[in-house]
Amino acid sequence: MAKLNGFTNEVRRLPRDRNPPYRADQLDTDLLRVLAASEIPLSAYEIATRLRESVRHVMAVSIYRSLHRLCAEQRVERVEMVSGFRIKDAPASVLAICAQCGRTVSVTVASEHAAIERAIAAIGFVVGKVALEASGICSKCRK
């Protein structure tokens, strides 16, 4: 074993029997379950914490890969205002986000989405994603 500046070139391996690899489809299923159980959008780190409490330890990079895949499949959406993720329950919608409790509600506005995409395309801009979000106070918090 050679030493260089006090460090060795010895490779230390973690035991492989601790946790078998987390298959992508199983992670997607567990991630969707965590998001469905939450009333508010969750960050990747919050998802990792909840998975750690209920299932097993998962690296944040694996969570981000799964979120990317699920967003591409239109099963999950990013809530830009709060930097979180939620189950996508309606296409072409505005997300109403409560500033007090953090809950989100989808309001379908398909014609408005299409109009925005047409207006942007008219100036030669290629639309990748339209995110319409509104912040306010929900009816439960106003009571």
Cα–Cα dist 27/67, whole Å: 10
Residue ranges in the chain assigned as alpha helix (H): 24-37, 44-54, 60-72, 110-122, 139-142
Residue 98 assigned to a binding site:
yes
56's CB contacts (< 8 A; 6+ apart) are 19, 22
Is 71 annotated as contributing to ligand binding? no
Residues forming the annotated binding site for Zn(2+)? Answer: 98, 101, 138, 141
Residues forming the annotated binding site? Answer: 98, 101, 138, 141
